[in-house]
């Protein structure tokens, strides 16, 4: 799967098709193109629930220029907010707004998008959904609908101990055979 090109959404669920139309209509990938944008999170892998947002990650080297570009591009959108912080020694910017009925979150760091945690989580989650089948996906959806966020839902379904985000990053390095052993051991 080429997660960098949102065209795959055209062949997905009705919600994924709607998101593709929204991305195209509002030129989101075009506006973010200098920053290697990738749509991550639950919508690309088909486990979104009511209230899910659209998470776009970006790679940034000049935070001042990125912030100015985001203000210029999105300041007129409903619920626009931009927050710039340093977390664990890394600068980041989070831009939030609403397009039509979808909450949008753009998250930028000075890390390549394919190396950011949001992307790595999504890729391993997609692998597990494909490997473990529809019953596992139904369990993830049930847990998410009960109020759990995505990574904690995966951790609970797999009976993983510790920080769910860190555990999923560990699993991202595992082979398919190692991942399948999680289910067999259950």
Q: Are residues 53 and 101 in the same domain?
A: yes
Q: Measured between alpha carbons, how far is 117 from 97 in angstroms, rounded to an integer?
A: 22
Give the model's pLDDT for residue 183. 85
In a domain, 84, yes or no: yes
Mean pLDDT taken over the chain: 96
In a domain, 1, yes or no: no
14 DSSP 8-state letter: H
How many C-alpha atoms does 178 have within 13 Å on its Cβ side?
7
Q: Measured between alpha carbons, how far is 153 from 159 in angstroms, rounded to an integer?
A: 10
Helices within the chain (DSSP H only): 14-25, 28-32, 63-74, 117-132, 134-145, 150-158, 164-171, 176-184
* CATH number of the domain within which 70 lies: 3.30.460.10
Give the model's pLDDT for residue 150. 96
Residue 67: exposure state from Cβ atoms within 10 A (0-12, 13-18, ≥19): middle
Domain boundary among 113, 132, 151: 113
Domain residue limits at 65:
6-113
Domain boundary among 113, 128, 156: 113
Give the model's pLDDT for residue 62. 98
Q: Are residues 78 and 20 in the same domain?
A: yes
Q: For 16-70, what is each residue's pLDDT tens digit?
A: 999 999 999 999 999 999 999 999 999 999 999 998 999 999 999 999 999 999 9
* 184 band by pLDDT with thresholds 50, 70 and 90: confident
In a domain, 135, yes or no: yes
Total number of domains in the chain: 2
The pTM of the full predicted model, rounded to 2 decimals, is: 0.94
């Amino acid at each position: 799967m080429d997660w960098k090109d949102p065209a795959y959404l055209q062949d997905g669920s009705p919600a994924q098709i709607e998101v593709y139309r929204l991305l195209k209509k509002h030129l989101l990938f075009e506006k973010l193109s200098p920053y290697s944008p990738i749509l991550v999170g639950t919508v690309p892998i088909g486990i979104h629930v009511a209230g899910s947002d659209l998470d776009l990650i970006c790679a940034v080297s000049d935070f001042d220029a990125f912030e100015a570009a985001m203000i210029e591009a999105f300041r007129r959108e409903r619920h626009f907010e931009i927050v710039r912080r340093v977390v664990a020694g890394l600068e980041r910017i989070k831009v939030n707004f609403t397009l039509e009925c979808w909450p949008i979150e753009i998250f930028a760091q000075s890390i390549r998008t394919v190396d950011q945690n949001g992307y790595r989580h999504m890729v391993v989650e997609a692998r597990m959904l494909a490997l473990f089948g529809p019953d596992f996906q139904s369990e993830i959806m049930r847990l998410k609908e009960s109020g759990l966020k995505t990574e904690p839902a995966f951790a609970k379904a797999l009976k993983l101990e510790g920080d769910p985000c860190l555990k999923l990053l560990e699993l991202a390095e595992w082979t398919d055979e190692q991942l399948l052993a999680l289910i067999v051991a259950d």
